[in-house]
Structure 1
Amino acid sequence: MDTKKLLAVLVSVAMCGAAFAGCGNNADSSKAESKAESSSSQVEKMPETDEEWTQAMYDKAMVSYGNTSMMQNVIKKAQSGEKVTVAYLGGSITEGISAGAEGCYAKLTCDYFAQKFGTGDNVQYVNAGLSGTPSKLGILRLDRDVLAYEPDICFIEFAVNDGTEADYQNAYESIVRTLLQKNITPVLLFSVTENDHSAQDYMKQIGEFYHLPMISYCDALRYLFANNRMTWKDFSDDQSHPNTEGHKLVASMVDYYFDTVMDVAPEGDYVMPTDTVFSPREVDAHMYEGDSLTPTSLGSWKEGSSVASFTNGWTYDNTGDNSPIVFEFKDKKFLYMIYKEVKQGEFGKLHVKVTADGEVYDESDYDTISPSGWGNAQIQNIAMMPEATNYTVEISMAAGDEDKQGEVLAFGYTE
């Protein structure tokens, strides 16, 4: 079967699922339970019909239902007519690059949830996808872009923007724990790039430990590619973003989860583990921007910045004398600087001096030009103390770059 036919079958299956919502599909129940109980030693039978290939794709995508009690409670809340908010936190895939605001998987799946479980207009949608942002920035954006809307569900999609180093692992687990502490149901969604990069392995560790639902379109695509059912070019027009049909494909996998989750018995009331997988040190982190933080001295800087979703920062004025902009932070543990990163041009290095409780803690230069930069927000940890500390941060341009450009977008912190 060619790709267009495959996608047509998938869309048809998704529409059928919506049409029969609430009909108590026993087949779905047995499939979901048998997947959870299946042995790794079981010989896999290759699909033959279009429908079997579609089901096999869903089975590969559904890594785990986790403890279904959390999602089932939200669904019952929606069915009763109460307000339910579904949020999506991630990078450019979640934002909808290549498919647009109405055609991205996030909007498609929220609409499906509303149609299947809502009672009118009681399901609200929050898209907190932002291009080029990994979980290290996602944990700092979480408060502003997600928690402010009091969601009931939050999808997390950072598998292609994250690396596998410890700081990504810590940030990702911090997002998960922050959501769970606030009784928000996380759903982990795993993506992949054309060159097969995905950070899903450590994310699966976290999902398994916390008994969370996990959907991997990475695993589903690898399966389809390996069996010559699709190619990357069918799914995407570049190296990482699903095209319009690709977003529909991803949405159908999430819709399948919504179709079957009510049929999977919960493990009892959800209780968050007290132990952790990694070191989630940014739990309940926050972010300061220009509307919530006033520098004690502007120096040779002016208010405002130019990065999408970060316009309340500070921009260096190279016509001045390079006097530092100065900030005071009271009773903070970890401190992060968010700045504009570019690939080339007239941007220079930022010179950052940090004083902790009156003692010089660090003085470093940070290059705002990177081969991977494109005018995005970048993050740098500039201080980390185990106890609440009073910090003074002075930022100027590094020696020799006084005539260059620089933008500080925000600061992240923990208390």
Structure 2
Amino acid sequence: MRIRSTLLIYWLLLPGLILAQPSSLKQAQLVKVRAGLPHFFEKIKAKEKVRIGYLGGSITEASGGWRDQSLQWLQKQYPQATFTGINAGVGGTGSDLGVFRVEPQVLGLKPDLVFVEFAVNDQGKKPEQIYRAMEGIVRKIWRQNPTIDICFVYTLTADLAPYYQRQELPPAALAMEEIAEHYDVPGVCLGLEVARLAQEGKLIFKGKPEEHPQQLVFSADNVHPYPETGQALYTQALGAALRKLASVQKKERAFVMPAPFVADHWEAARMVPLDRLARHGSWQIIKPGTDSVAYLLRNRFSYLLKSTHPGDYLEVRMKGLACGLYDVVGPGCGSYEWQMDQQTPQLIPRFDSYATYYRSHFFVMPTPPEQAHVIRFRISGEKLNKADILSKRNQRMDDSRRFEENAGYAGQLLLVGDLIP
């Protein structure tokens, strides 16, 4: 392919990646080594089987991207060991869902190293939100096994490139670096070289490769990299960082969990099966073998609860920091009314301008932790103007029958706290 050969030409002509010296937290550098990944590299030296968890969004989930390529790089670099990967990437989601997913989708498979990639999907969130989730991820991993190494990696979009071109971290990545610094976790800027090439006119962020034979084309949409260019640059940056991280030796001392960075971190975040909730009304259990929506989302949920009847609700009795649902957004979805105790319900639409297809989604609402609460997720009778919502992205209803229902689909309870009787 022309795109692959173009990347090779530029890679041979350009100087190699230079590892930046330590500097202020805000400054972007290829790798901030900190405590390194000593347990990971110790297993490699011992010629053991090594499992790597990849927790992130669609950039991580993508087949043939940096996740797959980094496994191939490691296997070639260290042929004495055997590497397998855990794909825990979920498109369109950030660390605020990742903190719930890390236990069942990563830790349950016993990784030796976990890469955490949410810098793109967390962009625009308040630092406090990022602190809670990212700290929760770190503490959950080390609470289960302190010998699991962790590495934060920062990808980019075209909109974020100017930060890196100024050698600065974008706001979301900077918030993550504050957590990384507190816990001595390495951080790697996968997009630093991408931004430099764009600044020099050698790379464009959006386009068709065949229309730009003299430049690298990063992606088709400014966000999701082509495997042969953007993702390959990410992999090469990670490889350069791993070479540096390989030099860090393990410190022989008992592990002590650091004091929290923020008091309201989400270490207690967990997914709870819906069979532990009280169901009121005509909820149906739908499964991949018998329902088309459940089949489409079979890689996310083993089953879903579905209701199309306004007033039907799921009830949770809990105490903690937050409560929500891991659920579905799509053509036949409506809205929930989320109600805490006797307060006025809040409308949570499960249809948006991307809802021409079904995809997993989630919402989490804060709950005052000082007291117990009764939470209800009620199917709303309020009809959404779906045609108007779709028009915001110049989308149309291809078949009005697909959009007629106003259903709620629930997959897992998201809880930061505990259920109570």
TM-score range normalised by the length of the shorter chain: 0.7 to 0.9
Look up the match of 1:64.
32
Over 3 Å counting, the alpha-carbon distance change for 1:268 and 1:212 in structure 2 is farther
Distance 2:383 2:203 in 1: 52
Look up the match of 1:137.
97
Moved more, 248-257 or 297-306: 297-306
Please, which of 148, 153, 159 is the counterpart of residue 195 of structure 1? 159
Over 3 Å counting, the alpha-carbon distance change for 1:300 and 1:72 in structure 2 is same
Over 3 Å counting, the alpha-carbon distance change for 1:39 and 1:192 in structure 2 is closer
Look up the match of 1:261.
245
TM-score of the two chains, using structure 1 as the length reference: 0.75
Please, which of 105, 108, 116 is the counterpart of residue 69 of structure 2? 108
Distance 1:239 1:412 in 2: 31
Is 1:237 aligned to 2:237, yes or no?
Answer: no
Alignment of 1:322-341 (within 5 A): 322-329=310-317, 333-341=321-329
Over 3 Å counting, the alpha-carbon distance change for 1:408 and 1:4 in structure 2 is closer
Distance 1:295 1:386 in 2: 20
Report percent identity of matched pairs. 21
Is 1:81 aligned to 2:47, yes or no?
Answer: yes
Look up the match of 2:398.
none
Look up the match of 1:22.
none
Over 3 Å counting, the alpha-carbon distance change for 1:271 and 1:368 in structure 2 is same
Distance 2:193 2:245 in 1: 18
Please, which of 340, 344, 355 is the counterpart of residue 354 of structure 1? 340
* Count of aligned positions: 359
Which one-letter code corresponds to 2:119 in the other structure? A
Look up the match of 1:44.
none
Alignment of 1:160-175 (within 5 A): 160-162=120-122, 163-165=124-126, 166-175=128-137
Which one-letter code corresponds to 1:175 in the other structure? I
TM-score of the two chains, using structure 2 as the length reference: 0.74
Look up the match of 1:296.
278
Q: Where in structure 1 are there 5+ consecutive unaligned residues?
A: 18-27, 41-58
Look up the match of 1:119.
80
Please, which of 198, 201, 204 is the counterpart of residue 177 of structure 2? 204
Q: Cα offset for 1:241?
A: 0.6
Please, which of 167, 190, 205 is the counterpart of residue 217 of structure 1? 190
- Describe the superposition over 1:226-267 as per-residue Cα deviations: whole angstroms up to 9, x where unpaired: 222322131112221110112121111111122232235678
Over 3 Å counting, the alpha-carbon distance change for 1:110 and 1:12 in structure 2 is farther
**Partners of 2:49 and 2:81 within 8 A in 1:** no
Over 3 Å counting, the alpha-carbon distance change for 1:8 and 1:354 in structure 2 is same
Which one-letter code corresponds to 1:89 in the other structure? L
Which one-letter code corresponds to 1:194 in the other structure? A
**Partners of 2:324 and 2:413 within 8 A in 1:** yes
Over 3 Å counting, the alpha-carbon distance change for 1:178 and 1:347 in structure 2 is same
**Partners of 1:133 and 1:377 within 8 A in 2:** no
Over 3 Å counting, the alpha-carbon distance change for 1:210 and 1:297 in structure 2 is closer
**Partners of 1:300 and 1:325 within 8 A in 2:** no
Look up the match of 1:364.
346
Look up the match of 2:209.
none
Q: Cα offset for 1:349?
A: 1.9
Q: Cα offset for 1:329?
A: 4.1
**Partners of 2:44 and 2:81 within 8 A in 1:** no
Distance 1:222 1:114 in 2: 28
Distance 2:100 2:24 in 1: 40
Q: Cα offset for 1:114?
A: 3.3
Q: Cα offset for 1:153?
A: 0.6
Which one-letter code corresponds to 2:52 in the other structure? V
Which one-letter code corresponds to 1:299 in the other structure? G
Distance 1:297 1:275 in 2: 37
**Partners of 1:157 and 1:191 within 8 A in 2:** yes
Alignment of 1:150-189 (within 5 A): 150-162=110-122, 163-165=124-126, 166-181=128-143, 182-183=145-146, 184-189=148-153
**Partners of 1:354 and 1:394 within 8 A in 2:** no
Please, which of 378, 389, 392 is the counterpart of residue 372 of structure 2? 389
Q: Secondary structure at 1:36's aligned position in 2?
A: coil
Distance 2:358 2:48 in 1: 41
**Partners of 2:39 and 2:250 within 8 A in 1:** no
Q: Cα offset for 1:289?
A: 3.4
- Describe the superposition over 1:201-224 as per-residue Cα deviations: whole angstroms up to 9, x where unpaired: 222222223222111123322222
Distance 1:382 1:39 in 2: 35
Q: Cα offset for 1:164?
A: 2.7
Look up the match of 2:265.
281
Q: Cα offset for 1:39?
A: 9.5
Look up the match of 1:146.
106
- Describe the superposition over 1:76-98 as per-residue Cα deviations: whole angstroms up to 9, x where unpaired: 122213332111000110001xx
Look up the match of 1:408.
410
Q: Cα offset for 1:60?
A: 6.7
Q: Secondary structure at 1:395's aligned position in 2?
A: strand
- Describe the superposition over 1:382-403 as per-residue Cα deviations: whole angstroms up to 9, x where unpaired: 4523257364535222355796
